A and B are shown apart, each in its own frame.
Chain A
Amino acid sequence: RKEVEQDPGPFNVPEGATVAFNCTYSNSASQSFFWYRQDCRKEPKLLMSVYSSGNEDGRFTAQLNRASQYISLLIRDSKLSDSATYLCVVIPEGGNNRLAFGKGNQVVVIP
């Protein structure tokens, strides 16, 4: 079983709409969770960390559900520039700080 599971999509989203997706992780002792953004043929960049209490950064909201071992990301008022792949990332316990990535959710915002 992969450490992080994501439905890759693509998610075709009309401009201005809200899109939400999530991922599940297998290591229940994982302590750190992130969303990274990766543009086509570019490197991943940290979008936001995910905390147990949930957190918001502008139009982006991330939530963590430890009981069900899933992480979600919600994007409100989608912009064309939000088109990218969103990678769910976990640091497994005892993993020497290595990042475990999901496949990514590909988001395409349509005018």
Chain B
Amino acid sequence: GAGVSQSPRYKVAKRGQDVALRCDPISGHVSLFWYQQALGQGPEFLTYFQNEAQLDKSGLPSDRFFAERPEGSVSTLKIQRTQQEDSAVYLCASSLGGSVQETQYFGPGTRLLVL
């Protein structure tokens, strides 16, 4: 079956532009996570949804970052007034339920470059 998909795969933005990154989780997966991976680093947690509820947004680096999942499936991560330090790969992951032991499946990521 289809895995997690993300779009766009690549995005170049000028500093100050707003961007929107989309994640389509595996069908039926309840939990959805966003991570940010800077070059040479491991992924860093941004936010977590269970269905449409955003249960944890402690990893969002500033109020320029906003995520939503209004119908409990597709999610959008929006970054307003992008800065050069926002350049990174943004990874989305989903898992079937909400328990700790469930495997998180990652999408291919959106590679964002802010000039």
Binds A, one of B13-21, B61-69, B75-83, B106-114: B106-114
On whether A32 and B101 interact (CB within 8 A), knowing A43-B106, A44-B106, A45-B106, the answer reads yes
**B-contact bits for A42-60, CB 8 A (1 contact / 0 none):** 1111100100000000000
On whether A104 and B42 interact (CB within 8 A), knowing A44-B106, A45-B106, the answer reads yes
Contact B56 A96 (CB under 8 A): yes
Number of interface residues of B (CB under 8 A): 27
A91–B33 CA distance with the chains assembled, in angstroms: 13
Complex: chain A residue closest to B47, CB-CB: A98
Complex: chain B residue closest to A92, CB-CB: B45
Complex: chain A residue closest to B46, CB-CB: A98
Asked if A28 lies at the interface with its beta carbon under 8 angstroms from chain B, I say no
Contact A96 B55 (CB under 8 A): yes
A104–B107 CA distance with the chains assembled, in angstroms: 19
Name the residue among A8, A32, A43, A104 with the largest chain B CB count within 10 angstroms. Answer: A43
| Minimal beta-carbon separation of A97 from chain B (angstroms) | 6
Contact B108 A43 (CB under 8 A): yes
A44–B103 CA distance with the chains assembled, in angstroms: 12
Contact B48 A97 (CB under 8 A): yes
**A-contact bits for B37-58, CB 8 A (1 contact / 0 none):** 0001111110010000001100
Contact B100 A97 (CB under 8 A): yes
Contact B45 A98 (CB under 8 A): yes
On whether A96 and B42 interact (CB within 8 A), knowing A43-B109, A44-B106, the answer reads no
Which residues on A sit within 8 Å (CB–CB) of B70?
none
On whether A31 and B100 interact (CB within 8 A), knowing A42-B108, A98-B45, A98-B56, the answer reads yes
Which residues does A use to contact B, with CB under 8 Å? 4, 6, 8, 31-32, 42-46, 49, 87, 91, 96-104
Nearest 4 Cβ contacts at the A-B interface: A101-B42, A43-B106, A96-B56, A98-B45
